C-alpha cells in the first residue's frame, strides 16, 4: 500500500514536528493506520497508553474535520489549549462559549481551518451543531471514553446512548471509539451501541510496568498515608477515600501537617471543584484527596503515587484509578490500604444505593461479585501485575514482575503452606462442597455455631484443625487458594466453595501452593529511577522554570514539558537547540516557544556548578542480567568470539562450546559491544532490530523490560539484549 505508507510517513513527520516524539507505540501505529484508511475502529488502551495521539495525529495530516466527542468540558479545554500550543488548529463547542466565541469558532470551522473540534455527546446530537459539522465536511468521529455508552462499564452516561444516531446524520463518516475499559462485554457493547461497521478492534497491553502495586493491611491510616507522601516529597499524588466525610477529614489532617493538598468530591460546587482541579494541574497543589468518583477530569501526567485509603468497588475502578499514576511512563507507586471490613462497608453502600435507585436483585448480586473479586485481589498471593492483566483477559508470562509487593518480597511466606492448604481443602470436602468460606473457617477453627451443631460438623475430622490461626488469615488464605486456582467457588450470590482437579492434586501433595501474609509495611522503598544519571538540582531548577513559563504562557506545566523530558534535559544537559530537539517530547513548536529560556537555564546552572554539558544519551546502562563472571579472555570466550565473527548462530555456538544458549547470548552481547560489528542481522532479524530500536527510543535502554512490554512480549529478551548492545556500540 504505497499510498497508505506515504501517509504514515507524513504522519510520523507531523508527530515529530508537533509533539516531538520520534516513534509511535506499536498499537498507536495500527490505530493511526485504521484512521488514515477511514476504517471504523475500537482502540482499547490503558490510561496513559497514548490514545489521544491516535486521533489527533491523523486529523493533522488528513485534512478535513475530525470531531472528538468527550464527556468532560474541563478536559476539552485543556486538550484544545494543548493542541493550539503545539500548532494544531483545534476548537471546542461546549456550553461555556459565549455567543461571540461560538460564532468565531463556527466561522473557523466553516473556513476549513480547524482540524479537530471537541464537543460533548449531548451537544452533538441535540443541537444545531451537527448541521455545522456536516456543512464543514466532518469525516471522522473520535468517541473518547467510549465505555460511557455501556451499562456494563463503570461510568455509564445516558447521553452517550444517543450517539447511536450519529450514523444516521453522518452515514459516510468513520467512527473510532477509545476506551481504557477492557472487558469483553463492554467492548462488544461499544461496537453495537455506536453501530461500528466492521471495526478493527485493537486491544493494547494492559500491563503498566512502570507502576508498582502494593497492598498493605490498614493499621494506622494516617501514618501510612504520610509514609507514602513523604517518600514522594514534592511530587504529585492522589489519595482516594471511600466517602466525602473521609475526604474532608484526611484533607484537614494533611493540611495541618503542611502538605499542599486540595479536596475533591461530588459534594463540592462546580466552582470549588474546578478550582481544586486547576490548583492540582498547575502544580500549586501536590496532592488531591478525593472520593473514587474523581479522576476523569484530571490530566496531569506526572502523578507519582496513588493511595487507596480503602478498597475500591471493582477491579476496573482500581485499574482506572491507579492508571492516573505514571502516565508519563516513569516509575510510580500504587498503594492500597486494605482492611477486611472494606468488603462489608462497600456492600452496604451498594445495597443502599441499589434500594434508592430501585435496582434489580441481579444488579446487586453482580456488584457484590465484583466486590468479591476485588477483595480476592487484595488478599491474593498472585503477582499483582499478573492478577490485573489476567482479569482483563490477557496473559502475563514473566515469573517475577519486580514491581509488586509479592514479587519484591515484601510479603511473608507462610512456611507450611502445603499442609495448611491440605487442611482447608479437606474441610471443604468434608462439608460436601456445600458451604461458603465463613462456615469452612468456623469448622476449621472449631467454633461453636448453630449450623455446626445442627449439621454435626463438630464431629468432622477437620473440626478445630486450624484452631490457632486467626480468622482473617484463614480468609486470606482461602482467597489465595481461589486466586491460584487450587479452589473454586460457585457463581451464586452466596458462593459455595468447590473442589477442582487442582485441589485434589494439592491434597495428594502433587502440586505446591503458596500462601502469604501481607507485609506490615514495605520492605523496600523504591528509589526514584526517574533521575538516574540526571542532575537532581538542575531538574528542580527546570521544574521551577517550567512552572513560571506555564504561568506566563497560560498553560499547564505538563504542556510546557513533561517530567520525563525535564529529566532527560537534566541528564544530557544540552547547550544548543540541536541537542535540545533530540530529546523526546521536544518538538518544533515547544522548541520555538520554550527552547531559549530552558537552554540558558541549563547553561547557567552547569557553568555555576561546573557540570559537563552535552552528555551523550545513556549508552547501555547495566542490563537486567549481569555478565557471566568468566575470566578475561578465557579460551572459551576467544573461541566464541571467533565463531561470532563468522556470523554463527547462538545455537551452533552453544553446541560447539558446550554452554547454555542463555550464557552464549551474554557473550554475544559482550562481543557486539567490544567488536562493534557492522550488522547484527545474523542473530536478530532486521525487522525485529527496527522494532526494538523504535521502542528503545521511547523507553531508553536502561532496562529491558519496558521495551519487552512495549512490544507486547513478542520479542525475546535475548534479542532485545543484543540490539541494545548494538545500539550501545554505535
Residues that bind ligand ADP (CB under 6 A): 21, 23-25, 28, 45, 47-53, 301, 327-328, 562, 584, 698
Rounded Cα distance between 624 and 619, Å, is: 14
Q: How far is the CB of 45 from ligand ADP (least distance, A)?
A: 5
Which is nearer to Zn ion, 401 or 530 (by Cβ)? 401
Which is nearer to ligand ADP, 319 or 584 (by Cβ)? 584
Instruction: List the single partner that 404 binds among ligand ADP, Zn ion, none, CB under 5 to 8 Å by kind.
Output: Zn ion
Instruction: List the single partner that 302 binds among Zn ion, ligand ADP, none, CB under 5 to 8 Å by kind.
Output: none
User: What's the Rg (C-alpha) of the chain?
Assistant: 28
**Among 692, 714, 24, 695, residue whose Cα is nearest residue 395:** 714
**Among 209, 156, 154, residue whose Cα is nearest residue 325:** 209
SS3 79: helix
Instruction: List the single partner that 507 binds among ligand ADP, Zn ion, none, CB under 5 to 8 Å by kind.
Output: none
Report if residue 497 touches Zn ion, rule: CB under 5 A: no
250 Cβ contact partners less than 8 Å away, ≥ 6 residues apart: 222, 225, 239, 241, 289, 309
User: Look-up: residue for cell 555478565?
Assistant: 627
Query: 337-355 burial string, b = 16+ CB within 10 Å, else e?
Result: bbbbebbeebbeebeeebe
Q: How far is the CB of 24 from ligand ADP (least distance, A)?
A: 5
Q: Site mask, Zn ion, residues 394-433, x = CB under 5 A?
A: -------x--x--x--------------------------
User: Is the separation of the CB atoms in 500 and 488 below 8 Å?
Assistant: yes
- Supply the DSSP symbol for 421: H
Within residues 613-652, the interface with Zn ion by CB under 5 A covers none
- Supply the DSSP symbol for 165: G
Q: How far is the CB of 389 from Zn ion (least distance, A)?
A: 10
Which is nearer to Zn ion, 273 or 705 (by Cβ)? 705
User: Is the separation of the CB atoms in 614 and 602 below 8 Å?
Assistant: no
Instruction: List the single partner that 401 binds among ligand ADP, Zn ion, none, CB under 5 to 8 Å by kind.
Output: Zn ion
Which grid cell sits at 730? 554505535
Neighbours of 402 (CB within 10 A): 14
Which is nearer to ligand ADP, 218 or 691 (by Cβ)? 691
Q: How far is the CB of 456 from ligand ADP (least distance, A)?
A: 57
Which is nearer to ligand ADP, 21 or 170 (by Cβ)? 21
**Among 243, 236, 282, 286, residue whose Cα is nearest residue 266:** 243
Which is nearer to Zn ion, 276 or 404 (by Cβ)? 404
Rounded Cα distance between 462 and 429, Å, is: 10
Which is nearer to ligand ADP, 46 or 121 (by Cβ)? 46
Q: Quick one: residue 411, left, alpha or beta (phi over 0 = left, psi -120 to 50 = alpha)? A: beta
Which is nearer to ligand ADP, 47 or 503 (by Cβ)? 47
Contacting residue, 337, 383, 550, 696, with Zn ion by CB under 5 A: 383
Instruction: List the single partner that 47 binds among Zn ion, ligand ADP, none, CB under 5 to 8 Å by kind.
Output: ligand ADP
Instruction: List the single partner that 50 binds among ligand ADP, Zn ion, none, CB under 5 to 8 Å by kind.
Output: ligand ADP
Closest residue to ligand ADP, judged by C-beta, is 50
Instruction: List the single partner that 45 binds among Zn ion, ligand ADP, none, CB under 5 to 8 Å by kind.
Output: ligand ADP
Instruction: List the single partner that 263 binds among Zn ion, ligand ADP, none, CB under 5 to 8 Å by kind.
Output: none
Q: Binding-site residue total for Zn ion (CB under 5 A)?
A: 5
Instruction: List the single partner that 407 binds among Zn ion, ligand ADP, none, CB under 5 to 8 Å by kind.
Output: Zn ion
- For the residues of 352-413, what is the DSSP string, one character each? HHHHHTT--HHHHHHHHHHHHHHHHHHH--S-HHHHHHHHTT-----S--SSBTTTTT-SEE
Give the largest Cα separation in the chain, rounded: 85
Instruction: List the single partner that 559 binds among Zn ion, ligand ADP, none, CB under 5 to 8 Å by kind.
Output: none
Which grid cell sits at 577? 537547540
Which is nearer to ligand ADP, 439 or 705 (by Cβ)? 705
Q: How far is the CB of 576 from ligand ADP (least distance, A)?
A: 23
Which is nearer to ligand ADP, 370 or 584 (by Cβ)? 584
For binding to Zn ion (CB under 5 A), which residues are involved? 383, 385, 401, 404, 407
Amino acid at each position: 500500500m504505497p499510498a497508505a505508507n506515504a501517509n504514515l510517513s507524513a504522519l510520523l513527520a507531523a508527530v515529530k514536528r508537533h509533539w516531538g516524539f520520534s516513534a509511535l507505540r506499536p498499537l498507536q501505529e495500527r490505530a493511526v493506520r485504521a484512521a488514515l484508511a477511514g476504517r471504523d475502529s475500537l482502540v482499547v488502551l490503558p490510561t496513559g497508553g497514548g490514545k489521544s495521539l491516535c486521533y489527533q495525529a491523523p486529523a493533522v495530516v488528513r485534512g478535513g474535520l475530525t470531531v472528538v466527542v468527550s464527556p468532560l468540558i474541563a478536559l476539552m479545554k485543556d486538550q484544545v489549549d494543548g493542541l493550539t500550543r503545539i500548532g494544531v488548529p483545534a476548537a471546542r463547542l461546549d456550553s461555556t462559549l459565549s455567543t461571540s466565541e461560538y460564532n468565531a469558532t463556527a466561522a473557523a470551522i466553516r473556513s476549513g481551518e480547524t482540524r479537530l473540534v471537541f464537543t460533548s455527546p449531548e451537544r452533538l446530537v441535540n443541537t444545531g451543531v451537527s448541521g455545522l459539522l456536516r456543512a464543514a465536511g466532518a469525516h471522522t468521529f473520535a468517541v473518547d471514553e467510549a465505555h460511557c455508552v455501556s451499562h456494563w462499564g463503570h461510568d455509564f452516561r445516558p447521553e452517550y446512548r444517543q450517539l447511536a444516531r450519529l450514523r444516521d446524520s453522518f452515514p459516510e463518516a468513520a467512527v473510532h471509539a477509545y476506551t481504557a475499559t477492557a472487558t469483553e462485554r463492554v467492548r462488544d457493547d461499544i461496537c453495537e451501541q455506536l453501530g461500528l461497521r466492521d471495526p478493527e478492534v485493537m486491544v493494547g497491553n494492559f500491563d503498566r510496568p512502570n507502576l508498582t502495586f502494593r497492598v498493605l493491611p490498614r493499621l494506622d491510616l494516617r501514618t501510612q498515608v504520610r509514609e507514602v507522601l513523604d517518600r514522594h516529597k514534592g511530587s504529585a499524588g492522589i489519595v482516594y477515600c471511600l466517602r466525602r466525610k473521609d475526604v474532608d477529614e484526611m484533607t484537614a489532617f494533611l493540611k495541618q501537617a503542611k502538605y499542599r493538598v486540595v479536596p475533591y468530591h461530588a459534594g463540592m460546587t462546580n466552582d470549588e471543584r474546578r478550582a481544586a482541579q486547576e490548583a492540582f494541574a498547575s502544580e500549586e497543589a501536590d496532592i488531591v484527596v478525593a472520593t473514587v468518583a474523581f479522576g476523569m477530569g484530571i490530566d496531569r501526567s506526572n502523578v507519582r503515587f496513588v493511595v487507596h485509603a480503602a478498597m475500591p468497588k471493582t477491579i476496573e475502578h482500581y485499574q482506572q484509578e491507579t492508571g492516573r499514576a505514571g502516565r508519563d511512563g516513569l516509575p510510580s507507586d500504587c498503594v492500597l490500604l486494605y482492611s477486611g471490613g472494606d468488603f462489608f462497608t462497600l456492600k452496604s453502600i451498594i445495597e443502599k444505593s441499589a434500594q434508592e435507585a430501585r435496582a434489580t436483585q441481579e444488579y446487586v448480586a453482580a456488584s457484590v461479585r465484583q466486590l468479591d473479586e476485588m477483595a480476592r485481589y487484595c488478599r491474593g498471593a498472585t503477582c499483582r501485575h499478573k492478577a490485573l492483566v489476567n482479569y482483563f483477559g490477557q496473559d502475563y508470562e514473566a515469573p517475577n514482575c519486580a514491581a509488586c509487593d509479592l514479587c519484591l518480597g515484601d510479603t511473608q511466606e507462610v512456611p507450611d503452606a502445603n499442609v495448611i492448604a491440605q487442611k482447608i481443602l479437606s474441610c471443604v470436602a468434608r462439608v460436601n462442597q456445600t458451604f461458603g468460606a465463613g462456615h469452612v473457617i468456623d469448622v476449621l477453627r472449631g467454633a461453636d455455631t448453630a449450623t455446626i451443631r445442627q449439621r454435626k460438623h463438630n464431629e468432622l475430622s477437620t473440626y478445630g484443625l486450624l484452631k490457632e490461626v486467626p480468622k482473617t488469615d484463614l480468609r486470606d488464605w482461602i482467597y489465595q487458594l481461589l486466586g491460584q486456582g487450587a479452589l473454586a467457588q460457585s457463581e451464586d450470590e452466596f458462593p459455595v466453595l468447590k473442589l477442582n482437579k487442582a485441589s485434589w492434586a494439592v491434597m495428594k501433595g502433587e502440586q505446591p501452593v503458596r500462601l502469604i501474609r501481607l507485609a506490615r509495611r514495605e520492605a523496600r522503598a523504591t528509589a526514584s529511577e526517574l533521575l538516574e544519571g540526571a542532575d537532581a538540582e538542575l531538574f528542580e531548577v527546570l521544574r521551577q522554570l517550567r512552572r513560571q513559563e506555564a504561568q506566563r504562557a497560560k498553560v499547564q506545566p505538563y504542556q510546557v514539558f513533561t517530567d520525563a523530558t525535564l529529566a532527560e534535559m537534566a541528564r544530557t544537559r544540552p547547550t544548543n537547540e540541536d541537542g535540545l530537539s533530540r530529546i523526546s517530547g521536544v518538538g518544533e513548536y515547544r522548541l520555538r516557544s520554550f527552547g531559549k529560556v530552558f537552554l540558558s537555564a541549563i547553561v547557567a546552572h552547569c557553568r555555576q556548578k561546573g557540570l559537563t554539558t552535552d552528555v551523550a544519551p545513556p549508552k547501555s546502562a547495566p542490563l537486567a542480567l549481569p555478565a557471566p563472571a568468566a575470566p578475561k579472555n578465557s579460551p572459551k570466550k576467544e573461541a566464541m568470539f571467533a565463531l561470532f565473527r563468522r556470523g554463527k548462530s547462538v545455537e551452533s555456538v552453544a553446541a560447539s562450546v558446550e554452554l547454555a544458549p542463555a550464557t552464549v547470548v551474554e557473550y554475544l552481547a559482550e562481543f557486539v559491544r567490544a567488536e562493534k560489528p557492522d550488522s547484527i542481522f545474523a542473530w536478530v532479524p532486521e525487522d525485529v532490530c527496527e522494532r526494538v530500536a523504535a521502542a528503545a527510543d521511547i523507553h531508553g535502554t536502561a532496562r529491558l523490560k519496558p521495551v519487552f512490554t512495549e512490544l507486547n512480549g513478542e520479542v525475546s529478551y535475548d534479542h532485545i539484549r543484543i540490539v541494545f548492545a548494538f545500539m550501545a556500540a554505535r
